[in-house]
Amino acid sequence: MNKPAGTNVTVVDHPLVLHKLTLMRDRHTPSAVFRQLLREISLLLAYEVLRDLPITTRTIETPLAEMEAPILKGKKLVFVSILRAGSGLLDGMLDLVPSARVGHIGLYRDPETLTAIEYYLKLPDDIDARRTIVVDPMLATANSAIAAVNRIKDAGALDIKFVCLLAAPEGIAAFTAAHPDVQIYTAAIDDHLDEHGYIIPGLGDAGDRMFGTK
Ligand code: PRP
Ligand code: URA
């Protein structure tokens, strides 16, 4: 784990994450393998983003002795997936925290303006009482992530973190300016955006790579 100085970004640069991410970047990796790798990496990202969940203890009996054993302190979680590609990160996170609530925000980028167009929104009613983890593999211009977090804050959420797979420096700067209170977790920070708003070197269009739509 690495926190570049002066940023609100945590880079989860575990060797397993780096290895799997390289396989995902490879243009020859088929969609089925791409989805499986994203699910596996999401477990490792979840491990880091949930590291500071509050803990309490409960008295239990092992077969040999009584002990005060650590358990989660009841801070409730909600995962919010930015469709389509967010579902690839969501699945693995739900494996780790099956009791979490789930919200969805449907957004796509207008290819000309790169602004985020919303087509779906469904969030849990009690999001204000929960820690909210927003998931989307790509933080490029950050227009999508900023729009999603705007909506989530409008719904009352106070404790929000954002998890992605790849981030561009331009996206980190824009997101941090809009939402300085929201910590970003990513597997890597890439070099730059191209003239179409794609992350370079990146991995291409995450939704298309996941679902084989191009
Ligand atoms: C991709 C990705 C993000 C967005 C990132 O979605 O999953 O949501 O682009 O780009 P930005 O930071 O410049 O907003 P896309 O718009 O391609 O929609 P899709 O997931 O339905 O393919
Ligand atoms: N969205 C993607 O899926 N990939 C990029 O490189 C940029 C935005």
Predicted local confidence at residue 122, as pLDDT = 98
pTM value is: 0.95
Does the Cβ of 205 fall within 6 Å of ligand 2? yes
54-94 per-position pLDDT tens digit: 999 999 999 999 999 999 987 699 999 999 999 999 999 99
Percent of the chain whose predicted confidence (pLDDT) is above 70:
99
Q: Measured in angstroms, how far is the CA atom of residue 199 from the centroid of ligand 2?
A: 6
Ligand 1, atom 15, lies closest to the CA of 108
- Ligand 1 pocket member 144 (CB < 6 A): yes
Q: Output the CA 51–ligand 1 centroid distance in Å.
A: 27
């099956």: which residue's tokens? 98
Give residue for tokens 């930015």: 82
Distance set, CA 123 to CA 1, 120, 167 (Å): 30, 10, 25
* Separation of alpha carbons 161 and 154, rounded Å: 15
Pairing of strands 138-139, 159-163: unpaired
In this structure, which residue's CA is closest to atom 7 in ligand 2?
A: 198
pLDDT digits (tens, 9 = 90+) for 181-213: 999 999 999 999 999 999 999 999 999 999 999
pLDDT confidence tier of residue 7, bands split at 50, 70 and 90: confident
